[in-house]
Amino acid sequence: MKVAELFVKCLEAEGVEYVFGVPGEENIDLMDALKDSSIDFIVTRHETSAAFMAGTYGRLTGKPGVCLATLGPGATNLLTGVANANMDRAPLVAITGQAGLNRQHKESHQYYDLVAMYEPVTKWNAQIKTGEITPEVVRKAFQVAGKEKWGATHIDLPEDVAGMEVISAPIQPTERPHTEASRNTIERATEMIKRAEHPIILAGDGINRQRAKEEMRKFVDTSKIPVVHSFMGKGTVSWENDLSLLTAGIGGKDYIDCGFGSSDLIITIGFDMAEYPPKNWNPEGTTPIIHVDTEEAETDEFYPVVLNVLGDIKANLEQLTETVGNQERDIKWTADVRRKTLDELAAFKEDTNFPVKPQKIIADLREVMGEKDIAISDVGAHKMWMARLYHTYEPDTCLISNGLASMGVAVPSAIAAKMVNPELNVVAVCGDGSFQMTGAELETAVRLNLPIIVLMWRDGGYGLIEWHQMKKFDRASYIKFGNPDFGQLAKAYGFEAMEITKAEELKPALEKAVAMNKPVFIDCPVDYSENMKLTEKLGDIIC
């Protein structure tokens, strides 16, 4: 059989359901082999979108998502989405077509060294130079991508190698090793936790990656330690839990930072430093940290680890729950922090100002969405508001890219999320800037008959950049742009389209969109004057 056929058999052995991508000349052998396989190839309108979809599939299923592009511009387009998955700790395997081995030694049409190009943005990558190594390369790519911490890997397949004849067979996946912290380490952690007067937990996405929600919640409920969530750790503990201090990371001093400031021990669990720099929440670098994760943390002067509790997060939380036991702590201060943040959202539920205020949009969205429904935030000013005020009941129900944080992620991710969870409502929350970067994937959603909802916050500019410009310079520069008629554009792609003309229309529009069970686009003008009001408000907080 051809190497391309063997390659596809290896993908099948890994349990691959979908490959997202754009075909090209240099991967036609692979495309033809996929035609006869059990794998569905999902044609996307841009390679970056394909990688966004694969990353979201990986994050939600725990199995590496797979994306594909041809050489040259296809591979460079794919690169951004691969880098996004890698920094967001989403398991992904990227496949690129490549020029034949017979022309890689010289200047050649569309040829770049893709192994060198992808090296900085992947955990591992390789080129298949002989057909016999195909099973090893594919198996290792999936093994490394799915190993904690999850991330991206890359396989480069030259066109002449893909067409070669080979006699070989896939290597079957094996069970991953299970490790736990030593009993001595658990005992040391227990002593420190019991001795601390004001401990606080910073919960990251590693808890969700390890599917350790139940173990985490038991530990919190017995230890009585308040929990702050990173953007990507949202939902680890339900927002309704009195020990939940909701979400931190918007920048500047927030109510929650007062909790960090008064803490004498910070327990980070599944925390990824790329999300939320320690300097922002441990500015003196003096509060000691117990680091509970699958591997040691990056070295950082503001992250003074006094004890590493490494290994399987579920197992280690179970051990800590047992040894720490039921604790009694004074947690009255957490109620004050929660009240201030929750009141801020409640105060805007009935707001009738137009354009619609961010707080009002989120309040309406939260009321319409079920506890397990999925909201996916793109990157922009709306992301900061969603992270801070869209409160979650469950993990992975508010997906926020906060590693590489690439604009354009929401619509492709909503498509993948709906494929994985067809029974849930899925809403892509994006700005008019980020939507235009991957908006062509509306066609993909319609073609696949996926009833996603796109809720666009329209302000005619790059609102987050303007927010930063105003904070630093008190003036904005080069952030405004023109827009098409979004309603007509969405209809041209096959979406139902609604435009909000007054604040009172938003919640009924969302309810109608959910009831329609078809692709729906909602154009909602937003009042981003609230950005600077929030900056001033946070600046006035005194702990």
Q: What single string gives the DSSP state of each residue in 191-237?
A: HHHHH-SSEEEEE-THHHHTT-HHHHHHHHHHHT--EEE-GGGTTSS
374, 427 in Cβ contact below 8 A?
A: yes
Residues linked to residue 526 through DSSP beta bridges, in sequence order: 356
Run of H or E including 78:
helix 73-87
**Fold match between 183-336 and 347-535?**
yes
pLDDT digits (tens, 9 = 90+) for 238-275: 999 999 988 887 665 666 776 788 889 999 999 998 88
Q: Does domain 3-162 have CATH number 3.30.300.30?
A: no
Rg (CA), the chain: 24
Please, what is the angle between helix 213-223 and helix 313-324, to 10°? 20
Joined together, the tokens standing for residue 477 give 């520069």
The whole-angstrom separation of Cα 323 and Cα 300 is 29
What are the residues whose beta carbons fall under 8 Å from the beta carbon of 20, sequence distance 6 or more?
42, 44, 49, 50, 51, 53, 54, 57, 65, 66, 67, 68, 416
Q: How far apart are CA 348 and CA 367, in angstroms?
A: 13
- Asked whether the beta carbons of 391 and 416 are under 8 A apart, the reply is no
Q: Where does 183-336 sit in CATH, by number?
A: 3.40.50.1220
Counting beta carbons within 10 angstroms of the beta carbon of residue 423, is it exposed (0 to 12), middle (13 to 18) or buried (19 or more)? Answer: exposed
509, two tokens: 């529009």
* pLDDT for the residue 107: 83
Whole-angstrom distance, CA of residue 504 vs CA of residue 508: 8
**What pLDDT score does 230 carry?**
92
Which residue, chain included where needed, has tokens 């040691």? 296
Q: Which amino acid is present at 166? A: V
Rounded CA separation 75/118 (Å): 9
pLDDT at 542: 47
pLDDT of residue 254: 67
pTM: 0.95
**pLDDT of amino acid 532:** 80
Q: Please state the separation of Cα 446 from the chain's center in Å.
A: 23
pLDDT per position as a tens digit, 33-89: 999 999 999 999 999 999 999 999 999 999 999 999 999 999 999 999 999 999 999
Q: Taking the domain 347-535, which CATH number applies?
A: 3.40.50.970
* Below-50 pLDDT ranges, the chain: 541-543
Show me where the domains of the chain are located: 3-162, 183-336, 347-535
Q: Which whole-number Å values give the CA distances from 287 to 190, 191, 229, 298, in the listed order?
A: 17, 16, 18, 17
